[in-house]
Amino acid sequence: MSTSNYSFKNRCVSILCCKFCKQVLSSRGMKAVLLADTEIDLYSTDIPPTNAVDFIGTCYFTEICQCKLKDIACLKCGNIVGYHVIVPCKPCLLSCNNGHFWMFHSQAVFGINRLDSTGVNLLLWGNLPEAEENTDEDTLDISEEECIKGMEIVICTMY
């Protein structure tokens, strides 16, 4: 895989929440663009979002590339929030990518930038523990108020 980790080290880590029900979906989100169409903004994560999403429907391929995909839906509200790249195609694997195979549609989720352990600075991917060392995915608890505040920030920046 042609992953240039250096180019992603300075990206902010986001908490990803469902726009429909405010459920926390992942604490390891990153703003990204679709490799096959860089005009499409989305979020991604490097580890499976546990206890938050599940597969829905059947696998499919896109018209743009030959990656094998399967949609994921929020377990709380049932809305489709993204997809998992089950089998990436060779061109996508060879392009510059962040190594993430769990994608979230920007129209279905919003991100709240995480703070580091000081509570002052934004948490960057270069300072985030490796996926296997991370245990906060299951235990991260964000209040509904924090999700709503994050949603308000996202809405305000859209206009």
Question: In which band, very low, low, confident or very high, does the pLDDT at 38 lie, cut at 50, 70 and 90?
Answer: low
Average pLDDT (30-36) is 74
d(CA 98, CA 114): 19
In a domain, 40, yes or no: yes
* DSSP state letter for 56: -
In a domain, 71, yes or no: yes
CATH number (domain holding residue 51)? 2.170.150.20
How many distinct structural domains can be found in the chain? 1
In a domain, 24, yes or no: yes
In a domain, 118, yes or no: yes
In a domain, 61, yes or no: yes
**Of 48, 17, 47, 12, which is closest to residue 30 (Cα–Cα)?**
12
In a domain, 109, yes or no: yes
In a domain, 132, yes or no: no
Q: Within 10 A of 98 (CB to CB), how many other CB atoms are there? A: 19
Domain that holds residue 96: 11-124
Across the chain, what does the average pLDDT equal? 79
d(CA 122, CA 130): 17
d(CA 93, CA 67): 10
Helix (H) or strand (E) holding 86, with range, is: strand 80-87
Question: In which band, very low, low, confident or very high, does the pLDDT at 37 lie, cut at 50, 70 and 90?
Answer: low
d(CA 123, CA 138): 18
**Of 101, 79, 76, which is closest to residue 88 (Cα–Cα)?**
101
End-to-end CA distance of the chain: 38
Q: Give the residue with greater pLDDT, 140 vs 27.
A: 27
d(CA 68, CA 56): 14
In a domain, 146, yes or no: no
pLDDT tens-place string over residues 97-110: 777 889 999 999 99
Largest Cα–Cα separation, the chain: 45
d(CA 11, CA 141): 22
The C-alpha torsion from 135 through 125 and 12 to 92, rounded to 10°, is: -110
Percentage of residues of the chain with pLDDT beyond 90: 42
